[in-house]
Structure 1
Amino acid sequence: MAIEITQILQDFATIMIIAAVMTIISYKLKQPLILGYIGAGIIIGPHTPPFSFISNVEVLNLFAEIGIILLLFTVGMEFPIRNLRKIGKRATIITLAEQTGTMIAGFFVGQALNMSFYDSLFMAVALSVSSTVVIMKVLEELKILREEASYLTLGILIIEDIIILSIFALLHSTTVTGNISIVEILIPIGITIAFIAGVLIIGSRTIPRLVDFVARTNQSDVLVVAVLGLAFGFAYVSNLLGISVAVGAFFAGVLIAESKSHAVTSILTTPIRDMFVALFFVSVGALMDINLIPVFIIPALILVGVTSVVKFAIVFLTSRYQGFSKITAIQTGIDLSASRGGEMSLIVAKGGIDIGVVSSFILPIIGTITLISTFLAPYLIKLGLKLADRNNNVNSESKSPNESKSAEPD
Structure 2
Amino acid sequence: MEFSQISKIIMDKISAAPSSSELIIQDFAVIMVIASVMALISYKLKQPMIMAYIIAGMIIGPFTPPFSLIAHVEILHVFAEIGIILLLFVIGMEFPLEKLKNIGKKATVIAVAEASGTFLAGYLASQALGFGFYDSLFLALAISVTSTVIIMRVLEELGMVKDEATYLIVGIAVIEDIIIVSLLAVLQSVAATGDLSVSEIGVSIGLVIAFIVGAIVIGSKIVPRCVDLVGRTNHNELLIIATLGVAFSLAFIAFKLDISVATGAFFAGVLVAGSKMRVATKIMSTPIRDMFAALFFISVGALMDIKQLPLFIIPAIVLVVVSFLAKFITVWAAARAQKFDKATSLRSGIGLSSSGGELALVAAKGGSDVGATSSFVLPMVGTMTVITTFISPYLIKYGWKLVDKISAKEKESS
How does the TM-score come out when normalised to structure 1?
A: 0.82
Report SS of the residue matched to 1:242. coil
Query: 1:49 deviation in Å?
Result: 0.8
Q: Which residue in 2 is equivalent to 1:405? A: none
Pair 341,32 (structure 1): closer, same or farther in 2 beyond 3 Å: closer
Q: Which residue in 1 is equivalent to 2:397? A: 386
Task: Note the 1:33-112 alignment, pairs <5 A.
Answer: 33-87=49-103, 93-94=109-110, 96-112=112-128
Q: Which residue in 1 is equivalent to 2:180? A: 160
What's the CA shift string for 1:19-50, capped at 9, x where partnerless? Answer: 00111011111111111111111111111111
Q: Does structure 2 retain, via aligned residues, the 8 Å contact 1:338–1:373? A: no
Matching residue within 361, 381, 390 for 1:342: 361
What's the Cα RMSD here? 3.4
- Alpha-carbon separation, structure 2, partners of 1:157 and 1:21: 31
Task: Indicate yes or no: 2:345 matched with 1:326.
Answer: yes
Report SS of the residue matched to 1:49. coil
- Unaligned 5+ segments in structure 1 are 403-410
Pair 244,29 (structure 1): closer, same or farther in 2 beyond 3 Å: same
Matching residue within 239, 253, 269 for 2:255: 239
Q: Which moved more, 1:130-139 or 1:217-226?
A: 130-139
How does the TM-score come out when normalised to structure 2?
A: 0.81
- Alpha-carbon separation, structure 2, partners of 1:253 and 1:111: 36
- Alpha-carbon separation, structure 2, partners of 1:275 and 1:199: 27
Report SS of the residue matched to 2:102. helix
The sequence identity of aligned pairs, in percent, is: 40
Task: Note the 1:205-216 alignment, pairs <5 A.
Answer: 205-216=221-232
Pair 340,234 (structure 1): closer, same or farther in 2 beyond 3 Å: closer
What letter matches 1:123 in structure 2?
Answer: D
- Alpha-carbon separation, structure 1, partners of 2:137 and 2:64: 30
Pair 56,45 (structure 1): closer, same or farther in 2 beyond 3 Å: same
Report SS of the residue matched to 2:222. helix
Pair 294,280 (structure 1): closer, same or farther in 2 beyond 3 Å: same
What letter matches 2:304 in structure 1?
Answer: M
Query: 1:62 deviation in Å?
Result: 0.9
Matching residue within 26, 31, 35 for 2:42: 26
- Alpha-carbon separation, structure 1, partners of 2:351 and 2:146: 14
Task: Indicate yes or no: 2:310 matched with 1:298.
Answer: no
Q: Which residue in 1 is equivalent to 2:12? A: none
- Alpha-carbon separation, structure 1, partners of 2:120 and 2:331: 15
What letter matches 2:203 in structure 1?
Answer: I
Q: Does structure 2 retain, via aligned residues, the 8 Å contact 1:60–1:283? A: yes
Q: Which residue in 2 is equivalent to 1:407? A: none
Q: Which residue in 1 is equivalent to 2:147? A: 135
Q: Does structure 2 retain, via aligned residues, the 8 Å contact 1:312–1:337? A: no
What's the CA shift string for 1:31-74, capped at 9, x where partnerless? Answer: 11111111111111111111111111111111111111111111
Query: 1:250 deviation in Å?
Result: 1.2
Q: Which residue in 2 is equivalent to 1:283? A: 299
- Alpha-carbon separation, structure 2, partners of 1:342 and 1:209: 33
Pair 264,109 (structure 1): closer, same or farther in 2 beyond 3 Å: closer
Pair 76,103 (structure 1): closer, same or farther in 2 beyond 3 Å: closer
- Alpha-carbon separation, structure 2, partners of 1:98 and 1:377: 18
- Alpha-carbon separation, structure 1, partners of 2:116 and 2:381: 20
Aligned length: 387
Query: 1:350 deviation in Å?
Result: 6.8
What letter matches 1:42 in structure 2?
Answer: M
